[in-house]
């Protein structure tokens, strides 16, 4: 992927919220509506083998991502913005060390989220449609595949670019 370049961390956070977080919020709503419809399909064998576990994993993914993004949007991103504002004004930042404390937790959550997506992919045999697929399953798989590919980019960008920049800022080395 091409890493976009930003002048400030605030610009980076705005980009993440405006682009990737909006995609996730919209994508999760669409995924959840579709999986509820698909899971109600009356085929006991398919229910047991695919639809029930698929519903379970989609619910887990939604819970994990809702929690994760709330933590970023309401706690960690505001802390990072405050750190940067304080650094620019040459003031001692309030909550120094806090952003760093949360970052390790967020990186761990990225791994958990990607693992859940991997479980969905395995369950669906790489998003292959069964011959007796219910209406909506193809659309659901397309939606999950799109979310997965966007999340790969989004979570990788945070873990390998954004969070190391915050570490540097906290250590007083941000240029
Ligand atoms: Fe994020
Ligand atoms: Fe994240």
Rounded to the nearest whole angstrom, what is the distance from the C-alpha of residue 83 to the centroid of ligand 2? Answer: 18
* DSSP code, position 33: H
Region 120-140: what's the mean pLDDT?
97
Q: What is the pTM of this model?
A: 0.92
Rounded to the nearest whole angstrom, what is the distance from the C-alpha of residue 145 to the centroid of ligand 2? Answer: 18
Q: What is the pLDDT of residue 90?
A: 77
Give percent of the chain above pLDDT 70.
94
Rounded to the nearest whole angstrom, what is the distance from the C-alpha of residue 68 to the centroid of ligand 1? Answer: 8
Which of these, 159, 17, 175, 164, lies nearest to 84 by C-alpha position? 175
82 has a pLDDT exceeding 60: yes
Q: Which ligand is nearest to the Cα of residue 20, counting in written order?
A: 1
Rounded to whole angstroms, the Cα distance separating 155 from 160 reads 8
Which of these, 37, 57, 59, 60, lies nearest to 123 by C-alpha position? 57
Of 23 and 83, the one with more pLDDT: 23
Q: What is the pLDDT of residue 94?
A: 61
Rounded to the nearest whole angstrom, what is the distance from the C-alpha of residue 151 to the centroid of ligand 1? Answer: 9
């Amino acid at each position: 992927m091409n890493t976009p370049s930003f002048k400030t961390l605030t610009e980076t956070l705005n980009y993440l919220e405006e682009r990737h977080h909006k995609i996730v919020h919209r994508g999760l709503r669409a995924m959840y509506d579709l999986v509820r419809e698909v899971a109600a399909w009356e085929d006991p064998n398919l229910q047991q083998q695919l639809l029930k576990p698929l519903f379970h994993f989609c619910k887990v993914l939604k819970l994990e991502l809702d929690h994760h993004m709330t933590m970023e949007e309401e706690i960690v991103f505001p802390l990072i913005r405050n750190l940067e504002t304080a650094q620019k004004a040459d003031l001692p930042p309030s909550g120094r060390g806090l952003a760093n404390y949360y970052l390790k937790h967020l990186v761990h959550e990225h791994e958990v989220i990607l693992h859940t997506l991997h479980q969905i992919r395995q369950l669906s045999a790489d998003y292959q449609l069964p011959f007796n697929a219910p209406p909506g399953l193809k659309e659901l798989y397309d939606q999950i595949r799109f979310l997965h590919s966007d999340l790969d980019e989004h979570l990788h960008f945070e873990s390998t670019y954004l969070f190391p920049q915050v570490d540097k800022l906290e250590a007083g080395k941000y240029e």
